[in-house]
Amino acid sequence: MDTQSDPAVAPAKGPSYASYLRLDDLLACQSPLSGTHDEMLFIVIHQASELWMKLCLHELTAARDAIATSRLEPAFKMMARVARVQQQLIGSWEILATITPADYSAMRGKLGTSSGFQSHQYRAMEFLMGNKNAAMIDVFADAPPTQATLTDALTQPSIYDEALRALARAGLSVPEGRLTRDFSKPYVASPQVEMCWRTVYAEPERHWDLYELAEKLVDLEYRFQLWRFGHLKTVERVIGFKRGTGGTAGVPYLARVIDQVFFPELLTVRAVL
């Protein structure tokens, strides 16, 4: 029952809506610097994206831990939730793209060197998905606690590493080197791992949980790539081929990122089914 619509209902004891959500703090976090109309949109979109990424990290970490302990069904629910959150992140580019080049140019001088490239949550999410690159931690050299958090994330198994261990526990012949590797290093695709997934896809009824796990992973990668592509096209639309505020090459850098894959054998196996 919505007590807000019925003034005769006394509010329950405990936190109010505003205090529970800390709305005073949350709504005080938007501090435009340029005096332009569109900067509020720019700030809100990026802050909201960081909150969605916080939820993604919460869910993906729990999903990875569930896979590690052979609790695949709870992991499926968490991964499906992340896929829905990713749709929100993808949709945010549609709103940000309403900023015109002139609008952005009017505020850009106040952004300094700030850039989405410096989002530690985005980097942690990539590490958790399996895109390990130790050089990315160097960006946070002036923030030791953040750098330490990312270093820990770099060395932990990715969700795909735990998926491969689940394959091995099911009796499939995953190479030992893929199970006990240095998780801080980039994952290298394996023909033997592809054969394991081929076995799963060839007999989905027999390996239903692993088949479902594979499809949930593919769904995550699919939406992550759509998010990256939306970023690329939005930047292209707003600033063209200018360099990014953080010193990256802008559109050419984002185009290269799209070529990165998280779960390579789940893509290549489709060509041999």
Q: Is 37 annotated as a binding residue?
A: no
- CA dist., res. 267 & res. 251, Å (int): 25
- CA dist., res. 217 & res. 130, Å (int): 11
Cβ contacts of residue 185 below 8 Å, gap of 6+? 132
Q: Is 42 annotated as a binding residue?
A: yes
- CA dist., res. 123 & res. 125, Å (int): 5
Q: Is 235 annotated as a binding residue?
A: no
Q: Which residue has the tokens 């989405």?
A: 116
Q: Is 245 annotated as a binding residue?
A: yes
CA 221 vs CA 81, 214, 229, 270: distances in Å: 14, 11, 12, 15
Q: Is 207 annotated as a binding residue?
A: no
Q: Is 104 annotated as a binding residue?
A: yes
What value, to the nearest 5°, has the Cα angle with vertex 83 and ends 82 and 86? 85
CA 156 vs CA 133, 160, 162, 186, 270: distances in Å: 13, 11, 10, 12, 28
| Residue 22: CB atoms within 10 Å | 11
Q: Is 81 annotated as a binding residue?
A: no
Q: Is 272 annotated as a binding residue?
A: no
Q: Using N-to-C axis directions, what is the helix angle for 120-129 and 39-68, rounded to 10°? A: 30
Q: Is 183 annotated as a binding residue?
A: no
The structure tokens listed for 261 are 């894959």
Residues of each annotated binding site:
42-46, 104, 108, 231, 245
Residues of each annotated binding site for substrate:
42-46, 104, 108, 245
Residues of each annotated binding site for heme:
231
